[in-house]
């Protein structure tokens, strides 16, 4: 494996220690529909426990934020995610940690769904819980 491949692979190692990113699939109202295995490990919830809960269960600061505006991802969320803004996350045990979020929109029939990739930021200070 050459140096570039090693660096890219190393940058993909998340808090969970897995190479698969933690990711959530949301409906247009912000309700969690599914998550990856890495998402289960990161947050300490099974995908069944997360299903039909609002994303604010994991990201409290998103409780009053519309994820979509005019059928598209909220432009402020896109801006914040592209700037590397750290979002406060909360796991099952109530432990708070900062993470970067990356939003993408997928079409599923007539309804858009959102994919949110979560990248924990271990170097950031813990928020006050």
pLDDT tens digits for the chain (129 residues)?
343 333 333 444 444 454 789 999 999 899 999 999 999 999 999 999 999 999 999 999 999 999 988 888 999 999 999 998 999 999 999 999 999 999 999 877 777 899 999 999 876 555 554
Cβ 39 vs Cβ 22: under 8 Å: yes
DSSP E strands: which ranges in the chain? 22-26, 32-35, 68-69, 72-73, 87-90, 96-108, 111-120
CB 58 within 8 A of CB 87: no
d(CA 34, CA 69): 22
């Amino acid at each position: 494996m050459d140096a570039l491949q090693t660096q890219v692979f190393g940058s993909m190692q998340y808090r969970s220690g897995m190479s698969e990113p933690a990711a959530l699939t949301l409906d247009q109202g912000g309700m969690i529909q599914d998550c990856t295995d890495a998402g289960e490990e990161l947050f300490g919830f099974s995908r069944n426990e997360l299903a039909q809960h609002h994303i604010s269960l994991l990201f409290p600061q998103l409780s009053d934020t519309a994820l979509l505006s005019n059928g598209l991802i909220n432009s402020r969320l896109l801006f914040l995610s592209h700037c590397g803004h750290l979002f406060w996350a909360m796991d099952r045990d109530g432990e708070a940690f900062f993470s970067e979020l990356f939003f993408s929109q997928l079409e599923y029939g007539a309804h858009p769904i959102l994919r949110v990739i979560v990248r924990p930021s271990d170097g950031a200070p813990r928020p006050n819980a």
